[in-house]
Amino acid sequence: MNRRNFLATGLAAAVATQTGAQSDAEHASSPRQFFELRQYHLRSGANRGRVGDFLRDVGIAAMNRIGIKPVGAFEAVYGPSKPTLYVLLVHPSLQSVLESSSRLMEDDEFRTKGSGFVDAPISEPGYVRYESSLMAAFTHMPQLEAPRFQKRIFEMRIYESHSIKAARKKIEMFNEGGEIAIFRKTGLNPVFFGETIIGPQQPNLTYMLAFEDMADRDKRWQVFRDDPDWRKLSQDPAYKDTVSNITDIILRPTGYSQI
């Protein structure tokens, strides 16, 4: 077994232990994707758009060629004050996560057309730094679902829990408890649900919703809050005190985003 396969097998085993294994039938019909969420901290002034320009002209097409698709790119409307570009990479497998950097550097077009960004000198970096989190899709929504409407905003919510047990119960609430189904019924348009495997503020889960605009968002959340199935589920003592902190970010897709 080579090193890459060994790492992929080991990480897959860790994911199965942490998130719970799917049934064979379910896995065969709907393989779970892995979501890599990057937060690029951008440079100021004229260099602020370098990451976005690179993704638009070179990066996204190269990632698509090696199987990472779709790729979402978003700017915060409501959220962090520092200039940040959120990039969501949808991987078909853990092997894709492990091999993506090396495979991109083997791509001739990526290296040549993107040379100004890829080969940036230390005196003129393309960005300050980026943070990255890796998530496993929930079993009851194993694939990302891009919204069908053209005009859209996104809401990304991060739910932190005070313990692993509490985090497991909140994920159960979304899956077996039926909260994802209630989201769908009330028109909240889920895009993805992911449990963070690697990243900060753990244990946590992250999910994204799509809306036409803020008015649509407010209206649909109210329908959700008034829904009798949600009222019943939210009062279930089995799911009490499962979330200790919520981060709420409103995002707008860039013109080159595939989500």
pLDDT value of residue 18: 45
CATH at residue 241? 3.30.70.100
Residue 11 is assigned to a structural domain of this protein: no
pTM equals: 0.87
Residue 41 is assigned to a structural domain of this protein: yes
Split into its structural domains, the chain has a count of 1
Phi, psi torsion values for 87, nearest 5 degrees? -125, 125
- In order, the DSSP letters of 159-211 are EE-SSHHHHHHHHHHHTTT-HHHHHHHTT--EEEEEEEEESSS-SEEEEEEEE
pLDDT tens digits, one per residue of 142-196: 999 999 888 999 999 999 999 999 999 999 999 999 999 999 999 999 999 999 9
Residue 10 is assigned to a structural domain of this protein: no
**pLDDT confidence tier of residue 44, bands split at 50, 70 and 90:** confident
pLDDT surpasses 70 at 223: yes
Residue 142 is assigned to a structural domain of this protein: yes
pLDDT surpasses 50 at 10: no
Residue 245 is assigned to a structural domain of this protein: yes
The CB-based long-range contact list for 58-65 (8 Å cut-off, 24+ gap) reads 58/109, 58/110, 58/113, 58/114, 58/117, 59/110, 59/114, 59/117, 60/256, 60/258, 61/109, 62/104, 62/107, 62/109, 62/110, 62/114, 63/89, 63/100, 63/104, 65/107
Residue 9 is assigned to a structural domain of this protein: no
pLDDT surpasses 90 at 101: yes
191 lies in which domain range? 33-253
Q: Collapse the DSSP code of 241 into the 3-class scheme (helix H, G, I; strand E, B; otherwise coil) and give the result.
A: coil
pLDDT value of residue 29: 62
Residue 258 is assigned to a structural domain of this protein: no
